[in-house]
Structure 1
Amino acid sequence: MREVCEEHAKEMVALGMMRLMELIAMSMGLTGHRFEEFFKDHTSSARLNHYSPCPSPELALGDLSVGHHKDPGVLTILAQDDIGRLEVGRKSDGRWVVVKPTPHAYIVNLGDVLQVWSKRV
């Protein structure tokens, strides 16, 4: 299991730090390799969350999830199950909107650091 997790983490770094950041840079009118220098000695983390089904969610006390938060880094790459329950805050009215799971797809959240970088371009 450890080897599988390590390989998955390696592939996510390649996807996120290399390919996605290249595309993001190009979409900002920059060269594709603009952000490479920031990731030479990067710190990445992997978090595996599993939530068992709650037989009576209406009776549950407290938060059954990761909880409301912002992603403080550059990118978050998420793999959802078929149940989902990821919600994103909508700026226009402050409401939380459920992100519908898409089979065999990742969800990419842009974090606070990327938001700061994009305002400087």
Structure 2
Amino acid sequence: MTEHAYQELLSENLPQRIEEFVTYHHDLSVAPGWKVGGHASWAVTGPYENVCSCGAAMRLLLTIASHEWDGGTRSWVPLGDRELVATSGVNVPTQVTVGRGGSLNVFVCAADVSHAHAVSLQ
């Protein structure tokens, strides 16, 4: 599966041009749910750069999410679960609650994975 960067990290007019064809935020960027790698959601704080104490950029290692998808992310729902969404509503809990129902992003140093990790609660 391919996901793309959080909407606020794109150039100024790109999200509007994309949304002529598809909803970027819900259909292309930041897959919801638990995942290894990919892009982080910045829905609570807005995007900010994670920099390791060594000065290297940090990259997303893991996302631990309270829900596998939400009301706007139908395109990310696995085909086998589409009927579940149609009958039970929009949120499918993971049986893990992060904060008040958000996601925990764990970042690792791109230069040396033995450096301290960083976290972001979104």
Please say whether Structure 1 and Structure 2 have the same fold, judged by a TM-score greater than 0.5.
Answer: no
TM-score (norm 2): 0.28
Kindly indicate whether structure 1 or structure 2 has the higher relative contact order, using CA contacts under 8 Å at least 6 residues apart: 2
If you compute each CA radius of gyration, which structure gives the higher value, 1 or 2? 1
